[in-house]
Homo-oligomer: A and B are copies of this chain.
Amino acid sequence: HSLVSKVKTVQIMQLISVDCLLQLLYEEWANYSVFYKYQPIGLVRKYFGEKIGLYFAWLGLYTQMLIPASVVGVIVFLYGCATVDDNIPSMEICHPKNNITMCPLCDRVCSYWKLSTACGTARASHLFDNPTTVFFSIFMALWAAMFMEHWKRRQMRLNYEWDLTGFEEEEDHPRAEYEFKVMQKSLRKDKKSHHKVSTMEKLTCRDRLPAYMANIVMMLLMIGVTFAIVFGVILYRISTKAALHMSSSSITRNHVQLTVKTTAAIINLVVILILDEVYGAVARWLTVLEIPKTDKSFEERLIFKTFILKFFNAFTPIIYIAFFRGRLVGRPGSYLYVFESYRMEECAHGGCLMELCIQLSITMLGKQLIQNNLFEIGIPKLKKLIRFIRSKQGAFQEEERQKKLQRYETDHFLEPFAGLTPEYMEMIIQFGFVTLFVASFPLAPLFALLNNIIEIRLDAKKFVTELRRPVAARAKDIGIWYNILKGVAKVAVIINAFVISFTSDFIPRMVYQYTYSPDGSMHGFVNHTLSYFNVSHFQEVTVSLFFCLYRYKDYREPPWSATPYEISKEFWTVLAVRLAFVIVFQNIVMLMSDIVDWLIPDIPKDISLQIHKEKILLVDHFMKEEQRKIHILESRVSTGSKEVFSRSNNNITTMTHSCSQLHTKCTKASNASNDVFIVQS
């Protein structure tokens, strides 16, 4: 039954002309007004081929899967909003009676400050740092596992619908560059050995060693550049903060934190955008150096390198903020300095989670807005405009001429198709934002969803109207991208475990509540996390103040203990619990992902049943056909007359035909399967 409908669909599809198809695509796909509908993947595949069809199917499934993720993310965020007034630590900070004085946040220019001024940040950080975040990270890890499984099933279904189950990628021919290099090598050998060597020469590891070395060195250098730039931004932040604190205008001074954070994040963003382009070029150059054998290998190596570079580029500043910022500051009286004058920056009170959140949202939104909208919409529009202005004078003739041109001739004026790599890369980096640091930014899936709804139609418009029609290519799967996705999902588990246990205050709060708190509540938590410092212990007391104790956020012994300012027992207790949490979280989530992987079968039940049925049907059909033929032959040929002869002659031709048909099918079948049946003569 389903077979009949499938055959019908195929027949209908074959009746549609190319122009009609394009029109249909334009209306039903490359159109913002149908954003809520499923994409017509069958038409896309028909016009652009399987490879591009698979990309849009993948993008569609990803966008679809983002819906539950964003709903849960928004609920988690709203829960944070709703409970912000019940949060005891931030209440304690904001309480008017609270008059804890804190040590200055920078040298010389910064003064001692009241903890109550951090009230706003403390309240805001509760939005992202509450117990539901732990649940949400587990949810997102399982979501990622579920997404992979669903994609495998969708891919299998598409393979069945598009008759790709038997398709096997044929071996690529070597690239011209490779052949040239091989020829050079064999010529060199001929010269040396003075007699003909076998033509089956190939590039060995030794030939490629210089290229590999260059690759490794350049990759390390590029990653080094990323690190250097992140470090530069840190220095910018430290120095600007100090400079702004010295400013005479009080408004400037009051908004120091916000100004510095925002400008630094924007600088980071701009650097990321510029380096993204640079790294793309570097990766291509390095891959050309390597001289891969086939086009497929070239593409895979290029993708791998580009991914590594762009991934480091996008995530290094975020990883710095999440795991290193505020941890290498030393302590009052013996701060840590870089270049002997820049004191390492601290996080504002309430953990670095808030800053991580700002950095994440600016990078993510900025990348999406600028790279997608400016680069993908603006630049082609600009190019069109330039072309239009240039040909202003000959406009009428142009138009006349274009009317007479064939479709492929007008297509020539469009941009050439540059491959799917940039499209996939953009989405994978976005997938990284959605999964890697989701513990600190539960709204990421929502932003990704909004972006992708536009992205699908934007890409569709681009493919339909602004690019030349690409050469259709077959593909069974999304290739290396699946492995990269899988890798990102794996890394996400461990990074989220570390974000929850080290960046957020979740563990210290738990430890306080269950071990140190006198009444099992959170009251007194803020006081517990602050250590004492005796101002007279500053080597150079810059601000003249009466002798007193001030506070700073760390677990250290008080000045009156036997070992003043040493790391205290509480620090080690909290650290041990944090690490234990990482182990438990990572292993539980990995186990649950494995269970999801195991519970959801890779091939949908109906498809596997269908395939099985069709196979039986086919064999049955062949059998009957054969028997019928043998029967006809036996009954007619026996008499032996002219008429029968001609008939038998006819039979021969039909049989030859059917046999050759069978043969074609058989070839297809043998192509289709990986299998070999030995002819035992």
Binding site for B on A (CB under 8 A): 3, 6-7, 10-11, 160, 163, 165-166, 171, 494, 568-569, 572-573, 575-576, 579-580, 582-583, 586-587, 611-612, 614-615, 618-619, 621-623, 626, 629-630, 633, 637, 640, 645, 648-649, 651-653, 655-656, 658-660, 662-663, 665-681
Q: How far is the CA of A668 from the CA of B637 in the complex (A)?
A: 30
Q: How far is the CA of A678 from the CA of B567 in the complex (A)?
A: 73
Contact partner, A618, options B645, B662, B679, Cβ 8 Å: B679
For the complex of A and B, 3 pairs with smallest distance between CB atoms: A673-B673, A166-B675, A572-B572
Whether B629 contacts A656 by the Cβ 8 Å rule is yes
Whether B665 contacts A677 by the Cβ 8 Å rule is yes
Given A579-B583, A615-B670, A677-B573 contact (CB < 8 Å): no
Which chain B residues lie closer than 8 Å to A681 at the CB level? 7
A to B CB contacts below 8 Å, 14 in the list:
A7-B679, A163-B677, A166-B677, A494-B587, A579-B579, A579-B580, A583-B583, A614-B678, A622-B663, A630-B656, A640-B645, A652-B655, A655-B656, A662-B662
Whether A165 contacts B633 by the Cβ 8 Å rule is no
Whether A659 contacts B166 by the Cβ 8 Å rule is no
Which chain B residues lie closer than 8 Å to A660 at the CB level? 626, 630
In this complex, which of A572, A623, A637, A675 has the most chain B Cβ atoms within 10 angstroms of its Cβ?
A675
Q: How far is the CA of A579 from the CA of B507 in the complex (A)?
A: 15
Q: How far is the CA of A678 from the CA of B640 in the complex (A)?
A: 39
Which chain B residues lie closer than 8 Å to A674 at the CB level? 165, 611, 673
Instruction: Name which residue of chain B comes closest to A630, CB basis.
Output: B656
Whether A659 contacts B626 by the Cβ 8 Å rule is yes
Q: How far is the CA of A669 from the CA of B663 in the complex (A)?
A: 11
Q: How far is the CA of A652 from the CA of B656 in the complex (A)?
A: 10
A50 → chain B, closest Cβ, in Å? 15
A37 → chain B, closest Cβ, in Å? 27
A97 → chain B, closest Cβ, in Å? 31
A157 → chain B, closest Cβ, in Å? 14
Q: How far is the CA of A615 from the CA of B676 in the complex (A)?
A: 6
Which chain B residues lie closer than 8 Å to A673 at the CB level? 166, 669, 672-675
Which chain B residues lie closer than 8 Å to A618 at the CB level? 670, 676-677, 679
Which chain B residues lie closer than 8 Å to A568 at the CB level? 569
Question: How many copies make up the complex?
Answer: 2
Which chain B residues lie closer than 8 Å to A622 at the CB level? 663, 666-667
Q: How far is the CA of A165 from the CA of B672 in the complex (A)?
A: 13
Instruction: Name which residue of chain B comes closest to A166, CB basis.
Output: B675
Q: How far is the CA of A653 from the CA of B651 in the complex (A)?
A: 12
A571 → chain B, closest Cβ, in Å? 8
A173 → chain B, closest Cβ, in Å? 15
Which chain B residues lie closer than 8 Å to A658 at the CB level? 659
Q: How far is the CA of A678 from the CA of B586 in the complex (A)?
A: 46
Instruction: Name which residue of chain B comes closest to A483, CB basis.
Output: B598
Contact partner, A619, options B3, B587, B671, Cβ 8 Å: B671
A195 → chain B, closest Cβ, in Å? 26
Q: How far is the CA of A297 from the CA of B557 in the complex (A)?
A: 63
Given A652-B633, A663-B626, A672-B677 contact (CB < 8 Å): yes
Contact partner, A576, options B165, B575, B621, B678, Cβ 8 Å: B575
Instruction: Name which residue of chain B comes closest to A655, CB basis.
Output: B655
Q: How far is the CA of A10 from the CA of B587 in the complex (A)?
A: 49
Contact partner, A670, options B160, B619, B659, B679, Cβ 8 Å: B619
A661 → chain B, closest Cβ, in Å? 10
Whether A670 contacts B669 by the Cβ 8 Å rule is yes
Q: How far is the CA of A28 from the CA of B90 in the complex (A)?
A: 79
Which chain B residues lie closer than 8 Å to A630 at the CB level? 656, 660
Which chain B residues lie closer than 8 Å to A626 at the CB level? 659-660, 663
In this complex, which of A166, A580, A674 has the most chain B Cβ atoms within 10 angstroms of its Cβ?
A674
Which chain B residues lie closer than 8 Å to A645 at the CB level? 640, 645, 648
Q: How far is the CA of A662 from the CA of B660 in the complex (A)?
A: 10
A628 → chain B, closest Cβ, in Å? 12
Which chain B residues lie closer than 8 Å to A612 at the CB level? 171
Given A3-B678, A672-B673, A667-B619 contact (CB < 8 Å): yes
A327 → chain B, closest Cβ, in Å? 14
Q: How far is the CA of A614 from the CA of B670 in the complex (A)?
A: 10
In this complex, which of A10, A11, A621, A630 has the most chain B Cβ atoms within 10 angstroms of its Cβ?
A630
Q: How far is the CA of A611 from the CA of B677 in the complex (A)?
A: 10
Q: How far is the CA of A621 from the CA of B494 in the complex (A)?
A: 55
Which chain B residues lie closer than 8 Å to A572 at the CB level? 569, 572-573, 575-576
Known: A572-B572, A619-B671, A673-B673. 12 other contacts (CB 8 A): A10-B678, A165-B675, A165-B676, A166-B677, A579-B580, A579-B582, A583-B586, A614-B676, A630-B656, A655-B656, A658-B659, A669-B669
Whether B680 contacts A10 by the Cβ 8 Å rule is yes
Instruction: Name which residue of chain B comes closest to A667, CB basis.
Output: B619
Which chain B residues lie closer than 8 Å to A665 at the CB level? 666, 677
Whether B676 contacts A166 by the Cβ 8 Å rule is yes
Whether B656 contacts A637 by the Cβ 8 Å rule is no
Q: How far is the CA of A10 from the CA of B678 in the complex (A)?
A: 10
Which chain B residues lie closer than 8 Å to A10 at the CB level? 678, 680
Whether A637 contacts B652 by the Cβ 8 Å rule is yes
Which chain B residues lie closer than 8 Å to A677 at the CB level? 163, 166, 618, 665, 668-669, 672
Given A637-B652, A648-B649, A666-B622, A676-B611 contact (CB < 8 Å): yes
Instruction: Name which residue of chain B comes closest to A160, CB basis.
Output: B676
Which chain B residues lie closer than 8 Å to A166 at the CB level? 673, 675-677
A612 → chain B, closest Cβ, in Å? 8
Which chain B residues lie closer than 8 Å to A587 at the CB level? 494
